[in-house]
Each structure stands twice: as C-alpha cells, then as structure tokens.
Amino acid sequence: MAKILLVVLGLLLAYWILKSYRKRVDRREPPPPAAGAEDMVCCAQCGVHLPRSESITARGKFYCSAEHQRLGSPTD
C-alpha cells in the first residue's frame, strides 16, 4: 500500500516539476520595440507599406510613387 502512495507522490512531483518548467519556458520576453524604427505609412492607392521618408505626401495622404500620387489625387 505504501508503494502505491509513493508512486502517486512521485507522479505528483513529476507533474509539478513539469508544470513549473513549462511555465518558465512559456514566459518568453516580448520582442523589444524597434528602436529608431522609421514611421511606416500606407500608400493610399495600392496599400503598400513603406517608410515615411520614401513616401510621397499629397493632400495629407501617402503614396509609394509619383505614379500612385497622380492616380490617387486626380485633378478636378
């Protein structure tokens, strides 16, 4: 009878160790925020994302190229 109790205790211990180990593994560090990363903007015409410095701004909207700027803001 004592043997069974020992086995149960052993299983409980193994379970507890496994649980605490998995908890430690799961707690991964969140990815650090990209330091100095440039603002990404979305082309109003095709929706492509590009750095703000590479985009063309027109009427408060961003475009990936002069072509899309022309298409996105028709002259009327």
Q: Name the residues that contact Zn ion, by CB under 5 A.
A: 43, 45-46, 64, 68
| Least CB distance to Zn ion at residue 59 (A) | 15
Q: In the complex with Zn ion, which residue's Cβ is closer, 5 or 63? A: 63
Q: In the complex with Zn ion, which residue's Cβ is closer, 10 or 51? A: 51
5, 21, 70 from 59: Cα distances, Å: 77, 55, 12
Give which of 67, 62, 27, 34 is closest to 48, Cα–Cα: 62
| Least CB distance to Zn ion at residue 70 (A) | 11
| Least CB distance to Zn ion at residue 67 (A) | 8
- Are 61 and 44 in contact by the 8 Å Cβ rule? The answer is yes
